[in-house]
Amino acid sequence: MLENLKGGGIAQALRHTQFRRFAAGDLVSLIGNWVQRVAVGWLVWQLTESGTWLGILAVAELAPSILFAPLGGAFADKADRLKISIATLFGLMVQAAALTALTLGGWIDIWSLLVLTCARGCLNAWSHPARQAMVPSLVPKENLAPAIALNSVLFNTARFVGPAVAGVVIAQWGVGHAFLLNTASFMVFLLVLLRLQVPYAEVLKRKRQSLFDQLSEGYSYVVGHPGIGPLMLLLLFSAILVRPVSDLLPGFAGAVFDAGPTGLAWLTSAMGLGSTIGAFTIAQRGHMVGLTRLAVNHIMLSGGALIVFSFAPVFWIAVPVIAVASYSITITGISCQSLVQNSVKGELRGRVISIYAVIFRAAPAVGALALGALSEVFGWHWPMATSAALCLFVWLWGRKRQSAMSAALEV
């Protein structure tokens, strides 16, 4: 069992130079990522004013995870994870540059945006498993829990800072310059990865297998594991029911609160702030004990907060409530990721992380597409509130299996 870390989990993880460099570069890239994400959402709303199109663009980016992330995970278990990360990051930089050129040139339309968004999703499907699987190679095992949590701290710090930056950039210079900023952020992270060393490389037992056998082995391991299997199912329902709210914020900002791009930046930044606090909460714990309980209970809390958000009478009530919802969503997500990384076999890490990525990235897109379409018929309030209310049943299901999952995962 991982022991409590004296002096704070985050400080222990940051003592390691290569991880510190990786984290710094990742933070810059993630901020640019969120700038682009907000800009894309607002551009879609400007072009279409349609909740359905917001859902379609979410699916266009995240659905490729369903097709390609398992392949990316299998490849990450066979090839050099650092080289995969460098190659895919270069591709993402090219995608951002193309989006910049089309937008600044005045040639962008919803169809070209759809194609470029799909390309980004394909690249992320290969990039995410490799980059996440690298973390255990940058810190010793006793610092793995806070390192994983710190990765989420960075993600959610960017989720707070990025939209705020996006709001200023879009208001002052337009969405094209927001895409340009993301292109530059990819360049920074690419330079970091080109100089990165891997001090704690895992010794992996690689077998000669067909691609089908590799994928089957990964799925069989997840399904048969007494902790990872139920945890993934728990994460799946949570991702479908509550996480789509982030993709639907442009609709709430524009149609419900009439707050424009500034309001969207406030809502997205509030989610980022709540997520950052949640991530710091997990990172400072520095150990695995009790994470299963947190993952289960915060599903219920996030659902309750989103019900309140759905019927918030004024914008400035919605802002702190969405921060609370995001706090709980993040607690569940980081707890699940940490438990999976802690208990998975090293030679299966890439494939299992790719399955996690399919759920974490693609399931919210499915939820966003459904809720976006329902919003066209029933308005924005009831679809989101009903989805959030279903979290009660997910929580009850998880509570019954909590002890068994804890025994298998918190080791």
Indicate if the alpha-carbon torsion angle 202, 130, 20, 338 is positive or negative.
Answer: negative
Provide the pLDDT for residue 209: 67
Residues 6 or more apart whose Cβ sits within 8 Å of residue 208: none
For residue 108, what is the DSSP state? -
pLDDT of res. 284: 77
Q: Check pLDDT > 50 for residue 6.
A: no
Say if pTM beats, i.e. exceeds, 0.75: no
Task: For CA atoms 174, 175, 181, 183, give the dihedral sign.
Answer: negative
The rounded Cα 375 to chain-centroid distance in angstroms is 24
**CA-to-CA distance for 360 and 368, rounded, in angstroms?**
13
* Number of neighbouring beta carbons within 10 Å of residue 346: 14
Complete DSSP assignment for 231-292: HHHHHHHHHHHTTTHHHHHHHIIIIIS--HHHHHHHHHHHHHHHHHHHHHHHHHH-S-TTHH
The whole-number average pLDDT for the span 163-184 is 92
Q: What pLDDT is recorded for position 118?
A: 93
3-class state of residue 303 by DSSP: helix
How high is the mean pLDDT of the chain? 86
* Mean pLDDT across 164-170: 88
Q: What pLDDT sits at residue 109?
A: 94
How far is Cα 5 from Cα 143, in angstroms, rounded to an integer?
A: 8
Tell me which DSSP letter residue 137 carries: G
Whether residue 66 contacts residue 197, with contact meaning beta carbons closer than 8 Å, is answered with: no
Taking the C-alpha atoms of residue 113 and residue 67, their distance in angstroms, rounded to an integer, is: 20
Sign of CA dihedral 244, 107, 182, 257: negative
Closest CA to 355 of 19, 94, 69, 116: 69
Residue 17, CA atoms < 13 Å, CB-side half-sphere = 5
Secondary structure (3-state) at 323: helix
Average pLDDT of the residues in 92-107: 96
Each residue's pLDDT tens digit, 186-221: 999 999 999 999 887 665 555 666 667 777 888 888
Confidence class for position 286, pLDDT limits 50, 70, 90: low
Interval 275-303 mean pLDDT: 86
Q: What is the pLDDT of residue 228?
A: 92
pLDDT tens for residues 219-262? 888 888 988 999 999 899 989 999 999 888 888 988 889 888 88
- pLDDT band at residue 3, thresholds of 50, 70 and 90? very low
CA–CA distances in Å: residue 279 to residues 200, 283, 328, 330: 24, 6, 10, 7
SS3 annotation, 184-246? HHHHHHHHHHHCCCCCCCCCCCCCCCCHHHHHHHHHHHHHHCCCHHHHHHHHHHHHHHCCCHH
Q: What is the dihedral of CA 332, 338, 339, 344, to 10 degrees?
A: 140
Query: Which residue bears the tokens 């299966």?
Result: 348
Write out the CATH class of domain 19-194+214-409: mainly alpha
Ramachandran area for residue 155 (φ above 0: left; ψ -120 to 50: alpha; else beta): alpha
The pLDDT of residue 208 is: 66
Measured CA to CA in angstroms, residue 183 lies from 128, 176, 180 at distances of: 18, 11, 5
pLDDT at 131 exceeding the cut of 90: no
